Amino acid sequence: MTMLSRVAERLYWMARYLERAEDTARLTLAYSHLVMDIPENTAPDWDILVRIQDAEPLFTERHRAFNELNVLGFLIAEPDNPGSIHRSIVAARENVRTTRDVLPREAWEHVNELYLYTREFAEASVRRRNRQQFLDQVVARCQMINGLLMTTLCRDHAYRFTKVGYLLERADMTTRVIDVGAGVMLREERHHTAVDPLIWGSLLQSLSAMGTYRRTIGPLVEGEAVVDFVLRDRTLPRSVRFCLDGIRRELHPLHNHGGALRVLDGARRSLSRFQVEGASREELHNFIDRFQLRLNSLSAEIVESWFLPAER
């Protein structure tokens, strides 16, 4: 099957933006629950959510304080934040609108309904009263769209570029959660370490991995075990290893895949060699920094190998 590179690129970015919206909703929901579950003054500051997106410069241009309403308004409804739920869904909708011929008819309907829903309710959902319902809806609708695409698309190039987009965005978000979330919890100067299992549990909840962790690892939620599980478990759909393995399966049948597979295999080797046990905060941070550069290189290689320059 042949496919216009412009169409392939839009499918790839459609998937990335939908995954970004879902992951941001998951993370925001998990952190909101964490803040309500643990004693006052023991939770990390709200700025952790902005740091996960690496968006501090953009945030500080618009807000003076990293308080709850400012941060959640930035993550949920900010139209100029590329990582906000609203902005991600706007971008996903535009990519679906221009590729409707290669997608199931229902895909456009569901994405457009999600866009209309977020346009109407995003601003009002920053405060706690409406937040959970809104975030639950975003996650559920994104999962419905993903399920529709994964169960109706023929296993052709349209499917492959869509799947690669989902998996690469998911791997990127997972590494961000580990880097910033674990960084807060591994600082030696932290107090109130009795609440650490709740914080690690919140990290797992943001990845929908708590139940799988307990069945696979055990009932105790401990830092090193969580990091290793989320990085390297081969069966967890949101682990970095699972995402990289899935990307390789989808890229291999494509022509001109040599450069992308070389970058990808380098990332997989790096992930296998890193020793989580006994790693310091600085070592973990440095590894994640290098690994995210590899993910950026992989994205750039995908663009160079298969896409024409185009506005997204």
Residue 128 is assigned to a structural domain of this protein = yes
pLDDT value at residue 197? 82
Q: How far apart are CA 173 and CA 187, in angstroms?
A: 21
Residue 311 is assigned to a structural domain of this protein = no
Cα angle 224, 226, 232 (rounded to 5 degrees) comes to 95
- Written as one letter, the residue type at 305 is S
pTM: 0.92
Count of domains observed in the chain: 1
With b meaning 16 or more CB within 10 Å and e meaning fewer, what string describes 17-35?
bbbbbbbbbbbbbbbbbbb
Residue 65 is assigned to a structural domain of this protein = yes
* Of 46, 188, 44, the residue nearest 126 (C-alpha): 46
First CA to last CA distance, the chain: 24
- Domain of 275 in residue numbering reads as 5-306
pLDDT value at residue 310? 46
Q: How many CB atoms lie within 10 A of CB 58?
A: 17
- Written as one letter, the residue type at 18 is L
Q: Which residue has the higher pLDDT, 201 or 59?
A: 59
Does the pLDDT value for residue 191 go beyond 70?
Answer: no
Residue 64 is assigned to a structural domain of this protein = yes
Task: Read off the pLDDT band of 271 (50, 70, 90).
Answer: very high
**Percent above pLDDT 90 for the chain:** 71
CB of 238 within 8 A of CB of 207? yes
Residue 312 is assigned to a structural domain of this protein = no
Lowest-pLDDT range of 69-73, 116-120, 181-185: 181-185
**Percent above pLDDT 70 for the chain:** 91
What would the pLDDT profile of 75-103 be if each residue is shown by its tens digit? Answer: 999 999 999 999 999 999 999 999 999 99
Q: Three-state SS string across 137-186, please?
A: HHHHHHHHHHHHHHHHCCCCHHHHHHHHHHHHHHHHHHHHHHHHHHHHHH
Task: Read off the pLDDT band of 184 (50, 70, 90).
Answer: low
- Mean pLDDT of the region 220-238: 92
Q: Residue 51: in which H helix or E strand, if any?
A: helix 47-52
Handedness of CA 49, 122, 119, 79 (dihedral sign): negative
CB of 271 within 8 A of CB of 231? yes
Q: Crossing angle of helices 258-273/281-306, nearest 10°?
A: 170
- Mean pLDDT of the region 108-137: 96
Q: How far apart are CA 109 and CA 3, in angstroms?
A: 23
What would the pLDDT profile of 1-29 be if each residue is shown by its tens digit? Answer: 556 789 999 999 999 999 999 999 999 99
pLDDT value at residue 296? 95
* Of 202, 295, 284, 200, the residue nearest 243 (C-alpha): 295
- Mean pLDDT of the region 226-251: 96
pLDDT value at residue 36? 79
Does the pLDDT value for residue 305 go beyond 90?
Answer: yes
Residue whose structure tokens are 């914080």? 199
Residue 55 is assigned to a structural domain of this protein = yes
Phi, psi of 298 (to 5 degrees): -65, -45
Q: Does residue 283 sit in helix, strand or coil? A: helix
pLDDT value at residue 188? 45
Q: How far apart are CA 92 and CA 16, in angstroms?
A: 8
Q: Does residue 267 sit in helix, strand or coil? A: helix
pLDDT value at residue 181? 65
- Mean pLDDT of the region 107-131: 96
Q: How far apart are CA 200 and CA 198, in angstroms?
A: 6
Q: Burial, 121: exposed, middle or buried (Cβ in 10 Å; 0-12, 13-18, 19+)?
A: middle
Task: Read off the pLDDT band of 249 (50, 70, 90).
Answer: very high
Average pLDDT, the chain: 90
Q: How far apart are CA 218 and CA 197, in angstroms?
A: 13
Q: Which residue has the higher pLDDT, 247 or 35?
A: 247
